[in-house]
Amino acid sequence: MNDDQLLRYSRHILLDEIGIEGQTRLLESHALVIGMGGLGAAALPYLAAAGVGTLTIVDDDSVDLTNLQRQIIHTTESVGQPKVASAQAAIARLNPDVRVNAVQRRLDADAIGELLDGVSVVLDCSDNFGTRQATNLACVRAGAPLVSGAAIRFDGQISVFDSRAGGPCYACLFPPDEPAPDVACATMGVFSPMVGMVGTVQAAEALKLITGIGRSLAGRLLMLDGLSMEWTTMRIAREPSCTVCGGAH
């Protein structure tokens, strides 16, 4: 770690739980972030600011004017640009030492799996059931920890799915053979700060997993009711009959 890095990350280094060793782990880590919408727009700047050395960002969409109500990594000047290009430029301004790999395409489980080599943690910031299931399947196959978030209207939820410890996967909670709910922001709306609150918690969980500090949300689903501002925690367990991870342990 050079002098500039010691100064930039000094407030992390002052934390006994992180220190020099934890910050070095962050600098050497690689996070895969799927989705550059509201959740990814909130999580990504904190990952970059914290010094995650390599970020691979994935999204097949372009910035639309309707995105700007909540997707704060993009600007009015970004409208019409690929979201990954807009986010990559924003991260370069925030922390030019972070390496950003931009992937502009929609991925299935096999394609996601090809991106997991050397990845420390995966953040699912997507906005559709199919991508969430594909991401979960790829992470179970690779044994990669997954930080999953979702937000719609005034509600948010976050969990960590980490098959390395024999915990549940996303499909244990939301079986892939059940009908996918229609919960698109375009039809139901979303309260702007909800994606920020969920996305920043995702970033916090990812940084904890990388540095090995604290207790992750693995085995727990954290839910937020934004109208009453009440957090609720529900415990979740691995489903032995799960078609994704049931025979993996």
**130 falls within a domain:** yes
- pLDDT reported for residue 166: 83
Q: Is 245 a catalytic residue?
A: no
Across the range 135-142, mean pLDDT stands at: 95
Question: Given this model, what pLDDT does residue 169 score?
Answer: 95
* Domain span holding position 53: 3-235
- The order of strands in the sheet holding 230-235 is 99-103, 54-58, 30-34, 121-124, 146-152, 155-161, 220-225, 230-235
pLDDT value at position 2? 93
Nearest to 169 by CA among 131, 219, 126: 219
Question: Looking at residues 182-186, what average pLDDT do you find?
Answer: 59
**Is the pLDDT confidence value at 183 over 80?**
no
67-82 average pLDDT score: 96
**Per annotation, catalytic residue among 125, 185, 242, 245:** 185
In a domain, 240, yes or no: no
Mean pLDDT, range 178-201, rounded to an integer: 82
- In whole angstroms, what is the distance from residue 98 CA to residue 179 CA? 39
**In this model, does residue 240 exceed pLDDT 70?**
yes
- If you average pLDDT over residues 188-212, what whole number do you get? 96
State the pTM of this model: 0.94
CB 86 within 8 A of CB 78: yes
Q: Give the closest residue to 19 by CA, choosing from 45, 43, 1, 46.
A: 1
Per-residue pLDDT at 181: 61
User: Which tens digits make up the pLDDT trace of 118-127?
Assistant: 999 999 999 8
Q: Is the pLDDT of residue 247 over 60?
A: no
Q: Per the structure, how many domains does the chain have?
A: 1
Tens of pLDDT, residues 206-215: 999 999 999 9
Q: Within a domain: residue 174?
A: yes
Structural domain includes residue 32? yes
Q: Is residue 104 included in any domain, yes or no?
A: yes
Indicate if the pLDDT at residue 249 is higher than 60: no
Confirm whether 246 is domain-assigned. no
Confidence (pLDDT) at 226: 96
Q: Could you tell me the CATH number of the domain that includes residue 10? A: 3.40.50.720
Evaluate if residue 227 carries a pLDDT over 90.
yes
The Cα–Cα gap between 13 and 166 comes to: 32
| Residue 164: band (very low, low, confident or very high) from pLDDT cuts 50, 70, 90 | confident
Q: In this structure, what is the dihedral angle of CA atoms 238, 239, 244, 246, given to the nearest 10 degrees?
A: 90
Percent share of the chain, pLDDT over 90? 86
Instruction: Please check whether residue 204 lies inside any domain of the structure.
Output: yes
Instruction: Tell me how far apart the 2 most distant CA atoms of the chain are, in Å.
Output: 53
